[in-house]
Structure formats: structure tokens, C-alpha cells
Amino acid sequence: MYHCNSFPMFHNLIHLQLVYQRYNAHWSQVLELLHHCPKLQLLAINQPDIHSFHFEQIQKGEWQLPPSVPQCLLLHLKRCYLNHYRGTKPEFEFARYSMHNGRFLKSMTISTGIAKNPKFKMLKELSSCKRGSATCRLCFK
């Protein structure tokens, strides 16, 4: 759900780092915030390391396609970092949405600390996503 007046406008913000203390990033709020950062060029989302939580306790959540694409995704975002990515459906949908709509996105960097087999599956899924920029590289750590 979007509440357009929840955040002030950050007209000149070009670098944003979000740090979550609990592993349940609200992706709709992240997108709402992006609507208020029209010139954003770098976005880093840091979620806590999974080792400090029981995986079963992670809220999977639901992804809702936003009514419009944030201006920064269409015109300015060049780099996006998702740290401690676990491959939940909302995380995947956010990454896919960002790569698909990021017309000037140069790199999407995903870091995860999980085993090789699930990691390979995540890489395969993310690699198959359509990209809005022909120069967008997917970096997987």
C-alpha cells in the first residue's frame, strides 16, 4: 500500500543506504521511498545476516506491483546493492522489478551468505530476468 505523503521529497539525494535491523524489509515502502528520490543514482539495501535469525521466522511477505515506476529507476539509478539476499519472493520481485525498469542501471549486485546449491538457483533465476538497460551487469557474491 502506498502513502504518498509518508516521506518528504529528497530532490537532490543521489546515494541512499537503507539498513534494516530485522529481516523483514517492507519492499512496498522501499518503492514508496524511491518515488521521493527522483535523482537517486545508487541504492544499497542492507538486511541483517541470516545467521542471527531462524530462517523460518523470516516473513516472506507479498509483492505488490506499484502503480507507477519511480522516476529514479527510469532516469538515474546506476547501481543497486542487495546485501544478505535470501531469495524470498518479495526480494526476488524487487530485484526483477529494478532490473526491468532501471533504464540506466549499470549493475545489480546481490550478496548472500548461503550454500552453493541454493545460491546457484538464485543466480539462475535472477539471470533470466529481463533488463531495461542493455549494459546492466548482474554481480552475484
Residue 73 to residue 116: CA distance in whole angstroms: 31
* pLDDT at site 77: 98
* pLDDT at site 24: 57
Say if 85 falls within a structural domain: yes
Residue 94 to residue 27: CA distance in whole angstroms: 7
Q: How many domains does the chain have?
A: 1
Residue 96 to residue 116: CA distance in whole angstroms: 21
Say if 136 falls within a structural domain: yes
Say if 3 falls within a structural domain: no
Report H helices in the chain: 27-35, 71-75, 89-101, 116-127
Highest mean pLDDT pick, 20-34, 52-66, 81-95: 81-95
**What value does the mean pLDDT of the chain take?**
84
Q: Label residue 13 exposed, middle or buried (CB < 10 Å: 0-12, 13-18, 19+).
A: middle
Mean pLDDT along residues 104-119: 84
Mean pLDDT along residues 51-65: 54
Residue 58 has pLDDT above 60, yes or no: no
pTM, 2 dp: 0.84
Domain that holds residue 133: 15-49+66-140
Place of cell 538457483: 121
